Chains A and B, each alone.
Chain A
Amino acid sequence: MRLEAQQLGYRLAKDNWLFRNIDLTLEPGQITGLMGPSGAGKSTIARILAGFIQPAEGSAVLKKALQHENRERSSAIGGAVTDKQGWKRRRTDGSIVRKPGGNTVPYPVQLIFQHPEQAVNPKWKLQRIVEEGAKPDQELLSLLGIDPGWLDRYPRELSGGELQRCCLARALACKPSFLIADEMTSMLDAITQAQIWHAVLGIAQQQGMGLLVISHDQPLIRRLCDRVIYPWETANENKKVTVRG
């Protein structure tokens, strides 16, 4: 499965574009770093790809190669075509979406935020939170270093690092095709950061999951990523080409 975003644009007000002409492709099993100037809308792109918000223009699609027919089938995610395809908008604190007909399914693109405490329902116990999309198996929980005792607690009783591990369990239990990590560990100390990333990289490799890493931390990006993309630069080049043409 490949994730392709084309000509994404997002605006804050009628003539105030946060960005336009953003193209990017994520391959399965590949770890991609996303770099761009601060305030350029990296987190907004993450939210579009994960289907939380819709772009003003352009589209993001998941393409599945159909081997027999030598053709591709795409299903839109996020994007203006979302509703036609039947995906309903997600809740910000959840990992599931409603398909037409009312049954819920885990979303194929999962997003991990910088601040886990803003991504969970404070009134739910962790047990309910981590099982929101699908039930994580014991192996996943122990890989992420989650103590079974936490599941009986409320989010405010856990530290930031502990809560982020739980958010990861919730997302990874859904067996997503892509995981987007938006400053996932930038609030955490170096040891917790290394642990969490080692667990995630192992799971990604095992499941052929693609990763998009957004981080201000250059050494981290260099450590993790197979490739780094700069969609804003390409967007500017595109603009120049159109002007010239």
Chain B
Amino acid sequence: MTVLEIRNLSVFFSRYYNWFRKRTEACLNGLELSVGAGQLVAVIGSSGSGKSLLAHAVMGILPRNAGWSGQMLYKGELLTPQLQQRLRGRELALVPQSVSYLNPLMQVGKQVRMSGGGVRSRTELRSMFRRYGLESQVERMYPFQLSGGMMRRVLVSTATLGGAELIIADEPTSGLHAELAQETVMRFRELADEGSAVLLITHDLESVLPYADAIAVLYGGTSIEVAPAHYFSGDGTMLRHPYSRALWTALPRNEFTPPKGKPLVRPARSAAGCPYREYCESASEACRSGQIPVRRVNEGWVRCIDAT
């Protein structure tokens, strides 16, 4: 069953310049994505690819000056602000990137029990903490008393206490050392195996690859390819998009070489055309304008004119 389906999602910000001049900037542009029950989909993107905005859009917590268009469906139902509010913290859970989401003045046990509006029982909390290897005295601690790893586990338990059906984790492993990062990703795998749909947003392809069912690659604010995780193997020729292949080749365990040509820094900013066109070896005139169509291929899809 498809739990979340995102169709043609764009997120834009309006900012005021000078006094009255308003400018709208698109930060996500025609993003497509879906995740089913029991599935772990990793969303891979570099900094500035708009990956946190994706999480915030689904949760309905975009900043005030942001607007969005497109469609988001939760179990086939249109995800409206009202529905988002009703589901948030219950069926819909976010593991935020920043620990600043925790209230520094409240004991963590209390915060976790109250997260998302509902209040959960002590016993529920205790068994959840035990599951994440947190001792019972952690419940009475304040956020500043926790180590980075404990804090991360508290955040994960906050999101999962209610038995959420859709879990979105935004860079859950950043700042964690290798073992703990792996342990964290494994927890998300477990949650998926228990039936949740999990979207794991990260810049670190290597850490999620062994546990993900599918990988969605984000570049320049749009999803450019969704592929089964096992496509990221060998010399990467199963991948269809030049950027996905470049990403795979650049891993230290593979070639560790950046794509040839000029250093890849910023995706092309305009809404029209392919965001990778400035760097792509196969770019043609057709890549400069219009929206690049999505093409379904076997088990995934790709957004590239040149893909076969």
Please give the residue numbers on chain A whose beta carbons come within 8 Å of chain B beta carbons, in ascending order. 38-39, 114, 145, 147, 159-162, 186-195, 197-198, 216-220, 222-224
Q: How far is the CB of B177 from chain A (nearest CB, A)?
A: 4
Q: How far is the CB of A198 from chain B (nearest CB, A)?
A: 6
Binds A, one of B35-43, B153-161, B245-253: B245-253
B216 at the interface (CB under 8 A from A): no
B104 at the interface (CB under 8 A from A): no
Instruction: From A145, A189, A217, give the contact of B47 (CB < 8 A).
Output: A189
List the count of A-B residue pairs having beta carbons below 8 Å apart: 86
- In the bound assembly, the distance between CA atoms of A220 and B256 in angstroms comes to 9
Task: Classify chain B: how many residues form its interface, as a range.
Answer: 20 to 34
A191 touches B252 (CB 8 A): no
A194 touches B206 (CB 8 A): no
Instruction: From B47, B177, B178, give the contact of A188 (CB < 8 A).
Output: B47
* Interface SS of chain B: loop
- In the bound assembly, the distance between CA atoms of A217 and B203 in angstroms comes to 14
Chain A, residue nearest B205 (CB): A190
Instruction: From B45, B179, B180, give the contact of A189 (CB < 8 A).
Output: B45
A160 cross-chain contacts in B, Cβ below 8 A: 47-48
B70 at the interface (CB under 8 A from A): no
B180 cross-chain contacts in A, Cβ below 8 A: 38
A147 touches B265 (CB 8 A): yes
A192 cross-chain contacts in B, Cβ below 8 A: 46, 264
- In the bound assembly, the distance between CA atoms of A147 and B47 in angstroms comes to 17
- In the bound assembly, the distance between CA atoms of A224 and B148 in angstroms comes to 28
- In the bound assembly, the distance between CA atoms of A193 and B204 in angstroms comes to 11
B206 cross-chain contacts in A, Cβ below 8 A: 190, 217, 219
Could you list 29 examples of A-B contacts with CB < 8 Å?
Answer: A39-B177, A114-B175, A145-B262, A147-B265, A159-B266, A187-B47, A188-B46, A189-B46, A190-B205, A190-B206, A190-B248, A190-B250, A190-B252, A191-B246, A191-B250, A192-B264, A194-B257, A195-B264, A197-B256, A198-B258, A216-B177, A216-B178, A216-B181, A217-B178, A217-B252, A219-B206, A219-B251, A223-B252, A224-B252
Q: How far is the CB of A205 from chain B (nearest CB, A)?
A: 16
Instruction: From B45, B48, B174, B257, give the contact of A198 (CB < 8 A).
Output: B257
Chain B, residue nearest A114 (CB): B175
Contact with A along B162-197 (1 / 0, CB 8 A): 000000000000110111110000000000000000
* Interface SS of chain A: helix
B60 at the interface (CB under 8 A from A): no
- In the bound assembly, the distance between CA atoms of A217 and B251 in angstroms comes to 11
Instruction: From A147, A159, A194, A222, give the contact of B258 (CB < 8 A).
Output: A194
- In the bound assembly, the distance between CA atoms of A218 and B252 in angstroms comes to 9
A161 cross-chain contacts in B, Cβ below 8 A: 46-48, 265
Please give the residue numbers on chain B whose beta carbons come within 8 Å of chain A beta carbons, in ascending order. 44-48, 147, 174-175, 177-181, 203-206, 246-248, 250-253, 256-259, 262-266
- In the bound assembly, the distance between CA atoms of A223 and B140 in angstroms comes to 44
A147 cross-chain contacts in B, Cβ below 8 A: 265-266
| Closest CB pairs A-B (n = 6) | A145-B263, A189-B46, A38-B177, A159-B48, A160-B47, A194-B250
Q: How far is the CB of A113 from chain B (nearest CB, A)?
A: 12
Given the interface contacts A38-B177, A147-B265, A217-B252, does A191 sit within 8 Å of B259 by beta carbon?
Answer: yes
Chain B, residue nearest A143 (CB): B263
B48 touches A193 (CB 8 A): no
A188 touches B203 (CB 8 A): yes
B265 touches A145 (CB 8 A): yes
B178 cross-chain contacts in A, Cβ below 8 A: 38, 216-218
- In the bound assembly, the distance between CA atoms of A145 and B266 in angstroms comes to 10
Q: How far is the CB of A151 from chain B (nearest CB, A)?
A: 14
B47 touches A191 (CB 8 A): no
Q: How far is the CB of A4 from chain B (nearest CB, A)?
A: 28
Instruction: From B147, B179, B247, give the contact of A190 (CB < 8 A).
Output: B247
Instruction: From B46, B147, B175, give the contact of A191 (CB < 8 A).
Output: B46
Chain A, residue nearest B255 (CB): A194
Chain A, residue nearest B45 (CB): A189
- In the bound assembly, the distance between CA atoms of A69 and B259 in angstroms comes to 49
Instruction: From B177, B179, B248, B258, give the contact of A195 (CB < 8 A).
Output: B258
Given the interface contacts A161-B46, A189-B46, does A222 sit within 8 Å of B265 by beta carbon?
Answer: no
Chain A, residue nearest B203 (CB): A189
Chain B, residue nearest A161 (CB): B47
Q: How far is the CB of B7 from chain A (nearest CB, A)?
A: 26
B46 touches A222 (CB 8 A): no
Instruction: From B147, B177, B256, give the contact of A194 (CB < 8 A).
Output: B256
Q: How far is the CB of A170 from chain B (nearest CB, A)?
A: 17
Chain A, residue nearest B180 (CB): A38
B205 cross-chain contacts in A, Cβ below 8 A: 189-190
